[in-house]
């Protein structure tokens, strides 16, 4: 993990990982096979860490928003895991443990979104889940790559509340846009002035 944090996933080598871990290259190769095996283990561990960090925050009526804040905290606290988790070309996407960890992490997001909006069990809220996940992931990525500090200051936690409030404004903008969009059949939008 420290090798990925130090040099990035592209430059990480099995020899460098073995050296940092204090084991032989042969021992590492025996346990994981190759670099994809190591990255699969890192991605799996990262998803489990994310589930553990996000799960407690993502409960109750405000859980989806609080879970998003926990997601950002997790990404910033575990940058090596975060870098590897979302690059499927680095790991074995069909690994059963990785798939189970991925499903468990998504389930936390899905359940918290369903609870937060009070959605009935038959309502598909995948769009909401992906929108919230994208916002948290995008913010974490922009922060990790030093694209926001000059605009927001040095502490991402202080900005988290502003980001949450900005979601309300985005919702209002989307509602206004949807309210002004003609029906696909050509009918004027509901509520539009003749």
State yes or no: pLDDT of 62 exceeds 50. yes
Highest mean pLDDT among 15-19, 32-36, 57-61, 167-171: 57-61
The gap from C-alpha 53 to its chain's centroid, in whole angstroms, comes to 12
The per-residue pLDDT for 38 is 86
Q: Which fold has domain 34-179?
A: Tetracycline Repressor; domain 2 (1.10.357)
Say if residue 8's pLDDT is above 50: yes
Average pLDDT, the chain: 81
Please determine, for residue 87, whether its predicted confidence score (pLDDT) is greater than 80.
yes
Q: Give the dihedral sign, CA 134/139/142/143.
A: negative
Under a CB-based contact definition with an 8 Å cutoff, are residues 153 and 159 in contact? yes
Q: What is the dihedral of CA 144, 135, 45, 111, to 10 degrees?
A: 160
* Whether 125 contacts 119, CB under 8 Å: yes
Q: Which of 78, 1, 75 is nearest to 32 (CA)?
A: 1
């Amino acid at each position: 993990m420290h090798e990925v944090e130090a040099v990035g996933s592209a430059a990480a080598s099995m020899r460098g990982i073995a050296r940092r871990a204090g084991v032989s290259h042969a021992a590492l190769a025996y346990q994981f096979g190759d670099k994809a095996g190591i990255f699969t283990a890192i991605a799996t561990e990262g998803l489990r860490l994310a589930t553990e960090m996000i799960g407690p925050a993502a409960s109750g009526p405000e859980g989806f928003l609080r879970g998003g804040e926990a997601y950002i905290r997790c990404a910033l606290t575990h940058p090596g895991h975060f870098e590897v988790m979302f690059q499927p070309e680095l790991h074995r996407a069909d690994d059963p443990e990785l798939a189970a960890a991925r499903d468990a992490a998504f389930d936390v997001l899905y359940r918290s979104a369903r609870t937060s909006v009070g959605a009935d069990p038959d309502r598909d809220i995948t769009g909401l889940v992906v929108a919230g996940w994208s916002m948290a992931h995008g913010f974490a990525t922009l922060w990790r790559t030093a694209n926001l500090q000059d605009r927001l200051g040095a502490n991402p936690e202080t900005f988290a509340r502003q980001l949450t409030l900005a979601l309300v404004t985005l919702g209002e903008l989307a509602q206004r846009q949807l309210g002004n969009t003609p029906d696909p059949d050509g009918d004027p939008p509901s509520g539009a002035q003749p």
